[in-house]
Amino acid sequence: MSPAPAARSIAVLDGGSFVLPYDFQLVKALAARGWRVAFHGSRTRYNGEFLDAMRSLTGVSVHSAGVSGTVNPRWKGVLAYAALLFGLWRRRRGVDTVNLQFSAWWPLELPFLFALRRRLVFTVHNAVPHGFRGTSHAPTGWIAAMARALVFVSEATRDDFLRRYGERFRDKASVLPHGLLPIAPELGATPYVAGRPVRSLVFWSTVKPYKGVELFAELARSARIRERGLTLQVCGAWAPELKPLRDELLGLGVQVRDGYLDREQLLGLLAEDAVFLLPYRDASQSGALYALLNHGCRFICADAGDLGAFMRRFGLEGLLLRERSADAVADCLDHLEANGTDAADALQRAQDAHAWDRLLKDYP
């Protein structure tokens, strides 16, 4: 009898643990398929339960250091990252693939990634860093050029990347769609239920300039929104440069929670009779969307990147903003009120389609 084939092995690298809930779901799904997985990332002030849960998975090892700015000053984070990368280099012979999820500090990474280029797979979450104003980001292009394969989390992200960096990358590009993101590692998906009332409009995520939260000022002044008696909420940690907007929204009666929500606060928010608003001005994809989808939440999206493509793919154009205005939001709410059962059915199909086991079923 011939020996069983050795399990394939992969090192997943997210130096700053920038997408730790995503990392956990990916690692869990790979381990369930029989892969040996070594995760290399940072301890963080938030989401630490995902690292703990990862350690309990069969076939998974976790190597963590204090890279994130939430646990160390920058200079200590750089030293911690150097140690993390050196540890990965020492263990390189035990892995078939090194999967970079997010670049934490490219000047330090590039020599390691170049040396590992024959095993390097680069997952592209965004074609350029958020807030970057140029057409292409040179370090992202360098990493993509040295990688043997590129994996994109949506077709919109892939298309945006190829438009910016060129068709020469197409032959090594593939798409592994973004999967569901429970806000805690042990939670499953919450089924969609039709007929729920709408009592509030909510933005939930980190509040950054590209996310379009200034729309809530117009919503607060809108007669059509006031007639519905809706509570307006913006929940998440605010970028410092947006503090004047935060103060304006508070003055208009918008409920603002500036800071990260803990588990119980977030579970309470996701269980509200709310419609979540993603009014992004510029985004190739949004992790918040896949968290809302996992938790059975209804949402209205701006037509930006994967947000627009997602809504069209599942027949949810009625919940896609025709423009970034209060009237467009009110039109979407009217559509939801008239087509609540159809919308719930479509969102349920979308939730089913984005289960990780289904996404990875036919992926090499």
Both tokens of residue 63? 């190597």
- For domain 200-353, which CATH number applies: 3.40.50.2000, 3.40.50.300, 1.20.58.1610, 3.40.190.170? 3.40.50.2000
Instruction: Supply the pLDDT for residue 3.
Output: 37
Both tokens of residue 157? 């992200």
Q: In the structure, what pLDDT confidence band is assigned to residue 364 with cuts at 50, 70 and 90?
A: low
Distance of CA 145 to the CA centre of its chain: 24
What angle do the packed helices 287-294 and 340-353 form, to 10 degrees? 110
User: Mean pLDDT over residues 104-111, rounded?
Assistant: 95
Question: 217 in the Ramachandran plot: left (φ > 0), alpha (ψ -120 to 50) or beta?
Answer: alpha
Instruction: Supply the pLDDT for residue 7.
Output: 66
User: Mean pLDDT over residues 130-143, rounded?
Assistant: 92
Please give the radius of gyration of the chain, using alpha carbons only, rounded to the nearest integer: 21
Burial pattern 317-344, b for ≥16 Cβ within 10 A else e, equals ebbbbeebebebbbbbbebbeebbeebb
Q: In the structure, what pLDDT confidence band is assigned to residue 355 with cuts at 50, 70 and 90?
A: very high
Average pLDDT, the chain: 94
* Least confident among 246-255, 279-288, 292-301: 279-288
Both tokens of residue 282? 């510029």
Percentage of the residues of the chain whose pLDDT score is greater than 90? 90
Look up the pTM and report it: 0.93
The label of the residue with tokens 């050196």 reads 86
Bridge partners for 235 per DSSP: 204, 257
Q: Which of 45-49, 85-89, 306-310 has the largest mean confidence?
A: 85-89
CATH of domain 9-182: 3.40.50.2000
CA angle 328, 342, 177 (to 5 degrees): 80
Bridge partners for 255 per DSSP: 233
Instruction: Supply the pLDDT for residue 4.
Output: 38
Q: State the span(s) of the chain assigned CATH 3.40.50.2000.
A: 9-182, 200-353
